[in-house]
Structure formats: C-alpha cells, structure tokens
Amino acid sequence: MPAHSTLIITVAASLGIAFLFGLAAARLRLPPIVGYLLAGIAVGPFTPGYVIDSGMISQAAELGVILLMFGVGLHFSLGDIATVRRIVLPGALMNSMISAGIGMGIARAWGQSWGAAIVLGLSISVASTVVLLKGLEAQDRLDSTEGRIAVGWLVVEDLLMVFVLVLLPAIAPLLSGIGAEQATAGLASVLGIALLKVLAFAALMVVVGRRAVPWLLSHVAKLGSRELFTLAVLTTALGIGALASEVFGVSFALGAFFAGAVVSESELSKRAASEAMPMQDAFAVLFFLSVGILFDPMVVLESPLAVFTLVTVVVGGKFASSYLLMRWLRQPKHSALVIGASLSQIGEFSFMVSGIGLTAGLIDRDMQALVVATALIAITINQPLLAFVRITADRLEAREPATAVLHPVPVAAAVTGSSISPSEDPFDFSELDGHVVVVGHGRVGTTITEALQRDSMAPYVVIEEQERLVAGMRTTGERAILGDATRSDVLHRAGIDHARLIVVTAPEPIRARRIVEVARELNPRIAVAVGTHSAAEQSYFEDLLHAPGAHGRAIYAEREAALSLAHYTLVTLGRSDDDSDQIIDSLRNATTRPTEMYQTLPVRDSRAILAADPDSMAKTDG
C-alpha cells in the first residue's frame, strides 16, 4: 500500500466498519454508539481478523474529541442554566461527588492506588451528553421540563469535567508517586499556573471572543455562501482550539469548548450547530471506534464481578442518587424518575478521563477496559430503561397529580435573582378564548403579530423556541411561551383549546405537519394558516384543510410572490385593479400541483409532440 494512501484507507475502512455496526445497532433499536464501540473491538488487536492502525486512527479521533467539545460548548448557555439553576447546580455537583466517591471506594477496596481510584471515580461520575441528547431528541423531549433539567444538569457536569481534563495531567505525577516529593513541592505553582492560563484564556474569550466570533459569523452569513459559513464555523472551532494549545498551553479540547460557548452567544448558533454537526458526527464516530480498539473483551470474562459491580453503580447507583436528589430539591416524582433514568449511563468524558489516566500511568489497560465495558453495557440498556421508566412515571402521574412543578424562570428574574412561585405560572394562557396562536417569531411571525397589534381585534400568543426572542417579547408585555409547538402541553399553555386560529410559520415541513395535527386533535374547530416552502407541501395541507370539519389556508411563499408579480403585470398592461384581483384570486384558489417538467411527461406524449412537429425543438431553440 503506498504510504500516501495509508491514512485514506484507514479512515475509509474505519468509517465503513463503524457504519455497518452502527446500522446493525440501530436495527436492533440500540444507540448507534454501541455499534461504534463494537466496531472498534472487532478491528482491534484483541480480536482475530482485520486490525486497524490504532496509532493513525487515534490522530483522527483527536479531531473527534475537539469537535465533540465544540458541540458541548454550543449547548452551553448561561440563560438555560439560569432557568433551572436551583436544581442543576446543587444536583449535578452533589451527584458527581457521590458517584465519584463510590467509585473511589470500590477502587480502593480492589487494592488500587489513590491515583487509580480518583480516575475510576471521575470516569463513572459524568453521564454521556451524546447519549442523553440523542435519547431526548428521539423521544421529542428536548424542550420538556425534564429535558431542560437534564441538559442543564449535563452542562454543569461537562463544565466540571472540562476543568478535570485541565487539572488531572498537572497532578498526575503526585498521584502516581513518581517524583512525588518534587511534585508535592511544585504542586501549588503547577496548579496556579494552569488555572491562571485557563482564566486568561477564558477572559480573552469573554472579552474578545464573544464579540468577534458572532460578528464574524454574521458577516459571513450575509454573503449567502453556505460553504463559507461552514468553513467559518470549523475554522472557529479548530482555530480557537489551536490558539488555546499553542499560546495558553491548555488542551485543544478546552479551546474548542470555549469556541462553542462563544458561538452559542450568536443568533446564528443553531445554524452553526447544524453546519458543524455532520463533521462532528463523522469524527466522533472515529473517537468511539478508537476507544473500542483499546478494549480487551477478555477483561469481561476474566473479571465479570468487577464489571457487574461498576454497571450496578452506574445504572442503579446513579439512578437512585439522581432520583433522591431531585426529590430533595422538591421536584415531582415524574421528573425525578425520568432524570434518574437519563443520567444512569457514562460515555465520552469517561473515555477521555480514563485515557488521560492511562497515558499518565495512573491506571492500566485492564482498568480502562473495565470503564469501556461499563459504558458499553450502561449505554446499551439506557434507552430501554428510559422508555420503561417514562411509561411507569406517566402512569404514576395519571394516578396521583404532581405536587410540585418546575416553571421556567424568565430571564429578567434570573438576572435579578428573584424567583417565580412554583404554584403559579405567569406564562400560562390556557384561559384565553377566541385568540390567535402564532408559532414562530421570525420575519413572518413578526409581521403577523405587528398586523394583529395594529388591528387589535383579537389577542395573540406566540410560541417560540429561542429564549432570547421570548425574553424580548415578554419585556414588551407580549404573551410568549418558550417551548416546542409539537408538544400538546405547550399548545395547552398557549390556550389552543379555545383559540380561534393557529398560524404556523415553522420552516421544517415535518414539524409544521405535526404542529397542525396536534393542534387539530386538541381543537378540531380551530382554523389553520400555515406557511409552506414547496408546492408539494401546499398541496398536502390543502387536502388536509379541505377535509370535512377543517378550514384554513396553506400559503406557498414562492407562489404568493409569483401571484403578486402577475398582479403587477396585469395592472401594468392596462387591466383594472379589480379585474386583476379577480384573475389572481382564481389562480390562488385553484388546486396546487407540484411543478412538472417536460422530462416527467409520458414518453408516448413526448413522441406524439415531436411527430406532429419534428422541427418544434429546433424552432424553440432558435
């Protein structure tokens, strides 16, 4: 094999094998990450058959770690944490301490050193962000009460682990006992210098990065080039990571985290996340594959009791501690059960910490294999466990109404430190009658609400997913709800049961369909106005809204622009305004069909046209 093609062949083989195993895992309704880990085991040196060059793939995996941390930073939001800070700050910190303490106790009981005990404790103390986010997205629970708590909880855990990744290499000599006297003498200075570098870099990002990066993304977005915007996002992630490593001496991963954090301050953060996600997913696969390569399956056969003990602690212990902490924080049983099940697994940070421990000589490969085996088993059973717990929690909630409910804290309250009484939600408009529900407050939604304000015939409620927009509307006295309009509880809070009209401006066709379906299930008499972005979508909604008992209108933006231009054309040619309106109305009320191209005509019709006038095509071209 030529030397220049070795990397390409290795990456291609790795991605191909990971795809096959991930596909098999998905078909078995397991998280794809399980397949990626198994793929690494299959091509690792501890199993027969084809063996991947682990040294080469680990370099590509480093890029996966950087992009994973960039994704963690994108989900980091002080505003999101502020709304649930009284739960996630004490809950996450105490839960991590409890889990780490149990892990350290187990390691010491096995005769491990304090260094190994600390690494094992930290490895099982943090849940997988990737697994939890994927699970919440799959169940459409990311914007639910439990979803906000879980994401905020994980952000706190991840932020704690970011500092662990910085400090662990610095104290590794002391923990390993190698040069302990010198390490002890210089520990304060080492930690002080490390913290100063982190703080200096963080200050640079806060003062300069949070202004420069959003400005750069906004400037590039105005150019209208998707390729340049994607390149800007990736350059930001990798460039700030390189700056952190080369100038401030901190890890690439920490730099990428801060890059994601400053990008999250931009209004274009969601677009940045969507542009970076494909690259992040691809290289994250290589990271999980590289972890699987290091795993020796014989450890499970040789130490089944050790694996069972760690799995019990991760699944059962973390579930119990999370549930009890949630109840101690006066949260309902439903939320406590769901959060407990969501956090009863470990993942990417566990692999990073154990990898640092292995490199620093704090643990051996057998201990790292125990961490990987525990993560593999916990991730495999997490989604079935979460589904079972959710069903159980729903049944309990149906029998016994929850006595405490978490309500979002408005941004103004979060800043001033005030709180909202849990017995009263000021953003519940379910008692309104005859109003309009507007889904989305972008350019289209803003125009609609301005028209309603000027007309003042009916009140309106806006449902929006961007917290900044909701906070802005609330400061001006508008009725706004932060949430996902595909969820029935969000629509209930918007008063959908007694609303006169729902206006859907969501750009995603699947979401728009689901919103309309749920709204009509809750209020069959409601009128529907929905914006579409294709003739096919308009045709679908027209058929839906022409069904018995349904009424409303589907607007195809491009078609409305065309009709407006046609109206202007007729008036310019001498038609009266009324005559032009009549013609345009007849076109607007005609059944919409997806655009047909000549290539879609039946072959025999095309032949008949050409047979009737063989020179027609030549005449047309001429």
Distance of alpha carbon 411 from alpha carbon 517, whole angstroms: 31
Residue at 154: amino acid letter? L
213-254 pLDDT, tens digit per residue, is: 888 888 888 787 778 888 888 888 888 888 887 887 766 777
User: What local confidence, expressed as pLDDT, does residue 103 receive?
Assistant: 93
428-456 pLDDT, tens digit per residue, is: 888 888 899 999 887 788 888 888 887 66
**Mean pLDDT of the 48-74 span:** 73
191-214 pLDDT, tens digit per residue, is: 677 678 778 887 888 788 878 888
552-595 pLDDT, tens digit per residue, is: 777 777 777 777 888 888 888 888 888 888 888 787 776 555 44
Q: Please indicate whether residue 427 or residue 488 has the higher confidence score (pLDDT).
A: 488
Distance of alpha carbon 340 from alpha carbon 338, whole angstroms: 5
Six-digit token pair at 617? 């095509």
Six-digit token pair at 278? 């494909």
Whether residue 395 is predicted with pLDDT greater than 60 in this model: the reply is yes
370-382 pLDDT, tens digit per residue, is: 998 898 888 888 8
- 117-126, 423-432, 602-611: range with lowest mean pLDDT: 602-611
Q: Please indicate whether residue 315 or residue 415 has the higher confidence score (pLDDT).
A: 315
User: What local confidence, expressed as pLDDT, does residue 101 receive?
Assistant: 93
User: What local confidence, expressed as pLDDT, does residue 270 receive?
Assistant: 64
User: What local confidence, expressed as pLDDT, does residue 550 receive?
Assistant: 67
**Mean pLDDT of the 280-308 span:** 81
User: What local confidence, expressed as pLDDT, does residue 415 receive?
Assistant: 33
Confidence of residue 190 (pLDDT cuts 50, 70, 90): low
Six-digit token pair at 480? 């706004």
Q: Which of 122-131, 149-158, 408-417, 613-622 has the highest mean pLDDT?
A: 122-131
**Mean pLDDT of the 134-156 span:** 70
Average pLDDT, the chain: 76
Whether residue 478 is predicted with pLDDT greater than 70 in this model: the reply is yes
Six-digit token pair at 129? 């962000």
Six-digit token pair at 576? 């009266």
| Cβ partners under 8 Å of residue 26, min gap 6 | 32, 35
CB neighbours (10 Å) of residue 313?
21
CB 39 within 8 A of CB 18: yes
Whether residue 424 is predicted with pLDDT greater than 60 in this model: the reply is no
- 511 burial level (CB within 10 Å; 0-12, 13-18, 19+): middle
10-29 pLDDT, tens digit per residue, is: 888 888 898 999 899 888 87
User: What local confidence, expressed as pLDDT, does residue 188 receive?
Assistant: 66
Share of the chain above pLDDT 90, in %: 11
Strand duo 552-556 + 460-464: pairing: unpaired
Distance of alpha carbon 622 from alpha carbon 618, whole angstroms: 6
**Mean pLDDT of the 396-420 span:** 43
User: What local confidence, expressed as pLDDT, does residue 267 receive?
Assistant: 65
Six-digit token pair at 197? 């570098």
Q: Which of 393-397, 410-414, 498-502 has the highest mean pLDDT?
A: 498-502
| Beta partners for residue 461, in sequence order | 437
Whether residue 176 is predicted with pLDDT greater than 70 in this model: the reply is no
